[in-house]
């Protein structure tokens, strides 16, 4: 892919135990993500997906390989000076319980020393995008699980990052709330046009959101399959899940995931 926004180039990661034993977690992963593209990553639990996300946004360094952003190769670890270009949404909301919804967003701006009326306005804008402006003065313990995750998404976007990384953000939610937030994430992407990489364990979620789906192997993580999702975004609504093409892709992805869990090799 020419002019990729974010590129992982033969990323390998291993960890050394106290006994000096090395465990390979990521084995030569390469991925190209275009600007404004939303992609999804599926793979077995514990295969190294979250580790790759941390490498891509500079939280961890790779053992070998490199990360390229906007055509600049930064080697095994992104410098702290550009980490502001990333936003991160975790599986748990990780909200500060002693701060209100708007206080949680302001905390991010404070840590990045982003001050002024434009940033105060940005807090309101992001809470409005996720539908929680009227809850700005509410504390996390007064919010539902889905509302907390929406605050988490707003917090990840409040400093206007270029890339949003989402690590199973809806995995702990009930099915109804999860479906609702999936469509809200789609609307947020349409409005903000951020580049998004999302880890999910839900095939339907990946189909509703992604332009491409990467399927990882069991530990150590390798890219076994890359599947293009050819359903136009303007058709991705509540009715699309019953269309022939959606059901065909869902069956195909489920078969690939089952094959992966059973030890299937690269196709």
Give CA separation, 245 vs 191, 212, 217, 242, 267, in Å: 26, 15, 25, 9, 21
Task: State pLDDT tens for residues 74-90.
Answer: 999 999 889 899 999 98
How far apart are alpha carbons 61 and 13 in whole angstroms? Answer: 8
- Domain spans of the chain? 6-261
CA–CA distance, 12 with 220 (Å, rounded to integer):
9
Q: How far apart are CA 13 and CA 29, in angstroms?
A: 10
Per residue in 214-250, pLDDT (tens digit) is: 999 998 999 999 999 999 999 998 899 999 999 999 9
Please name the residues in contact with 68: beta carbons below 8 A apart, sequence gap of 6 or more: 4, 6, 7, 8, 9, 74
Return the DSSP state at 266. P
Fold of 6-261: Rossmann fold (3.40.50)
In the chain, what is the straight-line distance between the N-terminal and C-terminal CA atoms, in Å? 20
What would you measure as the largest C-alpha separation in the chain, in angstroms? 55
pLDDT in tens, 135-144: 999 999 999 9
Which tokens go with 62?
């790779």
On whether the CB atoms of residues 165 and 53 are closer than 8 A, the answer is yes
Average pLDDT, the chain: 90
11 near 55, Cβ under 8 Å?
yes
- pLDDT at position 265 over 60: no
Across the beta sheet with 72-73, what order do the strands follow?
A: 22-33, 6-16, 64-69, 72-73
Token readout for 112 is 């990045």
């Amino acid at each position: 892919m020419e002019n990729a926004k974010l590129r992982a180039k033969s990323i390998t990661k291993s960890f050394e135990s106290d006994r000096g034993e090395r465990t390979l977690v990521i084995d030569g992963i390469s991925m190209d993500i275009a600007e404004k593209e939303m992609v999804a990553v599926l793979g077995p639990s514990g295969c190294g997906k979250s580790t790759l996300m941390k490498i891509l946004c500079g939280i961890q360094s790779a053992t070998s390989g490199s990360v390229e952003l906007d055509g600049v190769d930064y080697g095994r670890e992104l410098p702290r000076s550009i980490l502001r270009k990333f936003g991160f949404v975790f599986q748990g909301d990780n909200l500060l319980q002693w701060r209100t919804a708007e206080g949680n967003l302001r905390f991010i701006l404070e840590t990045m020393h982003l001050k002024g009326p434009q940033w105060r306005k940005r807090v309101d804008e992001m809470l409005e995008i996720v539908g929680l402006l009227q809850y700005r003065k509410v504390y996390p313990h007064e919010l539902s699980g889905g509302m907390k995750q929406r605050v988490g998404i707003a917090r990840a976007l409040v400093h206007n990052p270029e890339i949003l990384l989402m690590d199973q953000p809806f995995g702990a939610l009930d099915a109804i709330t999860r479906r609702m937030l999936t469509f809200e994430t789609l609307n947020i992407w349409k409005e903000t046009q951020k580049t998004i990489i999302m880890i999910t364990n839900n095939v339907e979620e990946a189909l509703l959101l992604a332009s491409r789906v990467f399927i990882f192997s069991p530990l150590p993580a390798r890219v076994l399959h890359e599947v293009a999702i050819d359903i136009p975004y303007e058709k991705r609504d509540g009715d699309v899940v019953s269309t022939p093409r959606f059901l065909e892709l869902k069956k195909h992805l489920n078969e690939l995931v089952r094959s992966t869990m059973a030890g299937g090799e690269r196709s």
